[in-house]
Amino acid sequence: MRAKKCIFTILFISILLVIFYSISVFAYNTFNEHTRSSRVDPMYYSIDSSANSYSSAIFDGVGAWNDSSHYTRLLYNSDAADVFFSADAFADESAHIIAKTLFISVDADFQLYSVNPNVSNWDINLIEINTLVMPKLTAYKQQGTMAHELGHAMGLAHNTNPHSIMCQLKDHRAVNYPTTDDINGIIHLYY
């Protein structure tokens, strides 16, 4: 009787472990596995004069990625950047657009064209900051927004996990830096 109880207990625990470890739940989303044509270590960025008043938020967002992962390294380079920050008034607060990331490819003749990241890879990004909304945010949320947009530039799409930088503020994002799930998305795409 004791042997049966022991076998049953071991079998029950084994089944629980198999079920628990076989269910893979990823809190990151990608753009159908599409990526930048270059790596994310290093990635070079530049700030247009239109976005100078947001340079603190940009530097903080960059720092959040650099401090959170050794898989990404963002460096400032105004001469050879592949991520460009600019600012413009393009949507009012009701649209919930604080910033947006555009995906751009370069053809053989060095012509730039916009691409859908769900359909193809891209070469460079333009991150546009909405001047109608960004100033109304706290420094914490501004940093989170810049880190969020940089996540897009690296190939991460939105999710609804409030403990992920790729969650939108309207979905109650609670962090202002990349977390393990975000880093796992980068590892999945590039390593």
pLDDT band at residue 16 using 50, 70 and 90 as cut-offs: very low
Which of 14-23, 27-36, 66-75, 122-131 shows the lowest per-residue confidence on average (mean pLDDT)? 14-23
Average pLDDT, integer, range 77-91: 94
Q: What is the pTM of this model?
A: 0.85
Structure tokens at 60: 């903080």
Average pLDDT, integer, range 7-30: 55
User: Looking at the predicted structure, is the pLDDT value of residue 163 above 70?
Assistant: yes
Cα four-point dihedral sign 44, 50, 55, 61: negative
Q: What is the pLDDT of residue 29?
A: 96
CATH topology assigned to domain 28-190:
Collagenase (Catalytic Domain) (3.40.390)
In the chain, what are the domain boundaries? 28-190
Name residue, tokens 């910033």: 99
CA 181 – CA 27 distance, rounded (Å): 6
User: Looking at the predicted structure, is the pLDDT value of residue 41 above 70?
Assistant: yes
Average pLDDT, integer, range 75-86: 96
- Residue-wise pLDDT for 166-187, tens only, equals 999 988 999 999 999 999 999 9
User: Looking at the predicted structure, is the pLDDT value of residue 5 above 70?
Assistant: no
Average pLDDT, integer, range 121-133: 97
3-state SS of the chain: helix, strand, coil percent to 5? 40, 20, 40
What integer best gives the mean pLDDT of the chain? Answer: 90
